[in-house]
């Protein structure tokens, strides 16, 4: 089926090509150069917390390096939010460590502070103190940072903030991507801004950034010949990709506005649909970029379920997708420890990600609305009038 209305597609601002041309004109076609430095500076200014940013080849690479900088190694354990994309957890396994998954809570769908505390205390009781905690800001929604950071400092465990989906989001006025001992960003093609593929590690000292750059460029010692005292990686961002990033940074704020407008659109439609809830901020402390808009369908109240809606969208060449399948339900992680209840599992059964791009048109929106209204017919107004 060829899709016409995408969940989340790239949205160029126009100046990306100018920066790419500069890279070509000056022959900086390499994993270093003025665009890489410029993109890092743009991100540092945007995040506005005296952070130091290292631009890398992917968000996954950034997580891998964050874990290395937290000294995670063979046989260690790392706590990770279960309801997330597999890239949050995979780098734990790259290092020979074990992920310990934790359920989400209902306000933000992110790691539940109560289950997190239980996990930390139980692992410590088993003599396996976690080396790091990975919290995610799912679909742009900031996690409960105050509660999570309190646990991190009480037990002296570093937070790695997976902000791959939340560039432009804020918690109590502070930018997501600045809360972790390390935070990571992604510029994959489906994210709020893209470099076609790329990521970044957000650090709080020049020293941490220097170490990330060192590790991401094959860990070369200072010598005229090639000498290595450590295992390195080829994880630096290309100067061509970074050119796209510089162009995208010029339009990031308007991309956030566009995504939030899509969220408002779904809120408006769903008001009249019985059993349909749009995932939204619990209160004014949370400001989501609404990277993806998500609805939850109460199967007892709505006329149709999540899968009926997804297939109806597909019939009309509109892409939608179930939310991330929790990591503790994944075959590949079936042996990993898990803490919490079944909140993430229930969400997975009932929730659907809807087309959310900042480049969707009025025509796209009316197509989406038509399908939603025709499938989810139990309108509240009907119930009242009968």
Ligand X SMILES: *Cc1c(COP(=O)(O)O)cnc(C)c1O
Give the catalytic positions in this structure: 191
Least distance from C-beta 128 to ligand X, angstroms? 24
Helices (H) and strands (E) in the chain, counts: 13, 15
Around Cβ 233, how many Cβ atoms within 10 Å? 18
Residue closer to ligand X (CB basis): 35 or 186: 186
Residue closer to ligand X (CB basis): 85 or 233: 85
162 binds ligand X per the rule CB under 6 A: yes
Least distance from C-beta 186 to ligand X, angstroms? 3
Q: Which of residues 72-111 bind ligand X (CB under 6 A)?
A: 84-85, 87-88
186 binds ligand X per the rule CB under 6 A: yes
Are 102 and 79 in contact by the 8 Å Cβ rule? The answer is: yes
Q: Which of residues 2-31 bind ligand X (CB under 6 A)?
A: none
Write the burial class of residue 227 (CB in 10 Å: 0-12 exposed, 13-18 middle, 19+ buried).
Answer: exposed
Selected binder of ligand X within 54, 164, 273, 323 (CB under 6 A)? 164
43 binds ligand X per the rule CB under 6 A: no
3-class DSSP state of 220: coil
Around Cβ 173, how many Cβ atoms within 10 Å? 8
Are 339 and 101 in contact by the 8 Å Cβ rule? The answer is: yes
- Residue with nearest beta carbon to ligand X: 59
Are 319 and 3 in contact by the 8 Å Cβ rule? The answer is: yes
Beta bridge partners of 5: 318
58 binds ligand X per the rule CB under 6 A: yes
The one segment of 2-10, 24-32, 140-148, 162-170 that binds ligand X by CB under 6 A: 162-170
Selected binder of ligand X within 199, 243, 247, 275 (CB under 6 A)? 199
Residue closer to ligand X (CB basis): 88 or 289: 88
142 binds ligand X per the rule CB under 6 A: no
Element spanning 353, H or E = strand 351-354
Least distance from C-beta 187 to ligand X, angstroms? 7
- Report how far apart, in Å, the C-alpha atoms of 204 and of each of 63, 162, 251 are: 15, 15, 25
* Burial call 334-350: b when 16+ CB within 10 Å, e when fewer: eebbbbbeebbbebbeb
The one segment of 54-62, 281-289, 331-339, 362-370 that binds ligand X by CB under 6 A: 54-62
Residue closer to ligand X (CB basis): 241 or 270: 241
Q: Report how far residue 261's alpha carbon sits from residue 274's, in angstroms, rounded to the nearest whole number.
A: 22
- What track of x and - describes contact with ligand X for positions 119 through 138 (by CB under 6 A)? -----------------x--
Footprint of ligand X (CB under 6 A): 58-60, 84-85, 87-88, 136, 162, 164-165, 186, 188, 199
């Amino acid at each position: 089926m060829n899709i016409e209305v995408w969940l989340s597609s790239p949205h160029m601002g126009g100046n990306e090509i100018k920066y790419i041309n500069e890279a070509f004109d000056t022959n900086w076609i390499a994993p270093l150069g003025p665009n890489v430095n410029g993109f890092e500076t743009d991100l540092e200014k945007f995040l506005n917390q005296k952070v130091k940013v290292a631009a890398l080849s992917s968000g996954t690479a950034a997580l891998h390096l964050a874990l290395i900088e937290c000294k995670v190694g063979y046989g260690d354990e790392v706590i990770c939010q279960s309801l997330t994309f597999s890239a949050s957890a995979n780098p734990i396994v790259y290092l020979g460590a074990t992920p310990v998954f934790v359920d989400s809570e209902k306000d933000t769908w992110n790691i539940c502070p109560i289950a997190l505390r239980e996990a930390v205390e139980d692992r410590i009781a088993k003599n396996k103190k976690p080396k790091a905690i990975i919290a995610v800001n799912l679909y742009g929604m900031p996690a409960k940072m105050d509660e999570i950071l309190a646990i991190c400092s009480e037990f002296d465990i570093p937070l790695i903030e997976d902000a791959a989906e939340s560039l432009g989001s804020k918690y109590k006025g502070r930018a997501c991507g600045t809360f972790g001992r390390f935070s990571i960003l992604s510029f994959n093609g489906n994210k709020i801004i893209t470099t076609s593929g790329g990521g970044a590690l957000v650090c709080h000292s020049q020293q941490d950034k220097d170490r990330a750059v060192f590790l991401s460029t094959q860990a070369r010692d200072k010598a005229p010949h090639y000498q290595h005292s450590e295992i390195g990686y080829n994880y630096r961002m290309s100067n061509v990709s970074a050119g796209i990033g510089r162009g995208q940074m010029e339009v990031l704020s308007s991309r956030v506005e566009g995504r939030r407008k899509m969220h408002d659109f779904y809120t408006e439609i769903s008001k009249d649909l019985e059993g349909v809830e749009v995932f939204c901020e619990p209160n004014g402390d949370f400001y989501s970029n609404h990277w993806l808009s998500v609805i939850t369908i109460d199967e007892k109240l709505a006329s149709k379920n999540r899968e009926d809606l997804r297939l109806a969208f597909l019939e009309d060449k509109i892409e939608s997708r179930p939310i991330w399948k929790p990591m503790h339900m994944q075959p590949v992680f079936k042996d990993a420890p898990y803490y919490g209840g079944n909140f993430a599992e229930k969400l997975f059964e009932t929730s659907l990600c809807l087309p959310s791009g900042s480049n969707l048109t009025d025509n796209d929106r009316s197509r989406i609305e038509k399908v939603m209204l025709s499938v989810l017919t139990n309108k509240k107004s009907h119930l009242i009038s009968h």
